[in-house]
Structure 1
Amino acid sequence: MMRDIKTREGFEFWDKLNTLPRYAFLLSPSGNSVQKFEDKALGNWIDVHEAQKVVDQAQDRIGELQEDLERQKRYVEINGNSAHGKHMEGQRYRDERDALQLRLNAADQALDEADDGFSLLSLEAGRRMDLLEGLLRGWLDLFPKQGVTGGPITTQKERTVAALKPLSIEPDHQIPGTSGMRLNMLANQGE
C-alpha cells in the first residue's frame, strides 16, 4: 500500500491519533492541584488509553498484512518450485547431459581416429612382414643345397629357417583378472 498525502491513504492510523482530544494542564491558583482541560491549540497531551486503542488497531492491521505477505511468499515459493524451479532444474540436467554427451562424442572420435591409425599401422606392419618373409624365402632359394655346413652363409641360412617357422603359442588357462599362476601350474601338471 502506498501512502498518498492528498487522499490520506496510508495515513489512517496517524489521522486517528490526530483526532484524539488533546489536553493541556494548568496549575490551580492555589498551587495545590492540577487542572486538565481539552485544548486543541495548546494541548500536547493525549489520553494514553485512547492512543493504545488506535495502536492496537494498527497492530491488528499490520498482523493481517504480514499474514497475507507470508501466504503470498508461500504461493510464490510453491509456484516457483512447481513451474519455474522445475524448469530450471530440468534445464540444469539437460545442460549436464549435453556436456557429458559432448565429452563422450569427443572421446569416441579420438578412439576412432586412434583405431584407424592403429589399423593402418597394423596393415602396414603386416605388409612389411609379408615382404620380409618373401625376401627371406627368396634368399633361401638362392642356396638350394642342403647339407653344406660351416661358414657364415650356412649360419645365416639356419637363422633364416628358424625365423620363418610359425610360432607355437601355449593356451592360457588363466582366469581373467587373476594372475593364473596356480591354474597354469596345475594345467601343466595335467591336474
Structure 2
Amino acid sequence: MKLLFQIFMIFFKLSPITFGGGYAMIPVIEREVVEKKHWLKQEEVTDLFALSGSIPGAIAINSAAFIGYRIAGVLGAIAATIGVMIPTFFIIVMLSIFYLFFSDHPKVEAAFEGIRPAVVALIVFAAYKMRKGAVVDKTTFAAAGCALVMLLVLRLHPVLVISAGAVSGIFLIGIQDRLGIETKIDDHEQQLDYFMGADI
C-alpha cells in the first residue's frame, strides 16, 4: 500500500508542474523514477516511453500506466494513472475559464510566448536523455537517422515510423545473430520477461 501511495503521489505532483504534455514529462519522470527512487533502469523507461507513443491515447497517461504497471502491477498502473489525471483535469478546467476571460491580456500572451520555447527545450532534453539508452551502435544510429528523415522529410505518421523501426529492428538483429555479430541486446529472455511484466 505504501508503494502504491508513493506511485500515486509522484505522478500527482508531476502532472501539474509539467507544461507541454507527455514528451515534456519525460525528463521529470526519469528523474523521479530512475535517479531518485531507482525503481526502473534508464533503458526500461526509454522502452516504455517508446511503447507509450506507439499506441492510441495521451502519452502522459499511457506512460503513467506502463510505468506504474512495471513497478507494482495492475494496482500500480491504476495508482499512476489516477495520479496523473486528477490534477490535469482540474487544471484544464481552471485554465479554460481563465483563458476565456484573459486570453487577450498582454501579460498572458507574453507568458505563453515564454512557455512555448521552454517546452521545446524540455522535449529536446528528453530526447537527449533517451538517446543514451536507444542509440547504442551504428545500426541504431542509422535507424534514428532514417526515422528523423521519415518524420521531417516524408512527414509520415509517428505510428508508422515506430512500426517501421520495430520491423527493421527485428530484421537487422536477426541478420546480426545469424552472422554471429555481437549486438547490444543484453538478454533476449530478460527483455521478453520485462515486457510481459515478469518479476512484479
Instruction: Tell me the TM-score normalized by structure 1.
Output: 0.20
More strand by share: 1
| TM-score relative to the length of structure 2 | 0.19
Higher helix share: 2
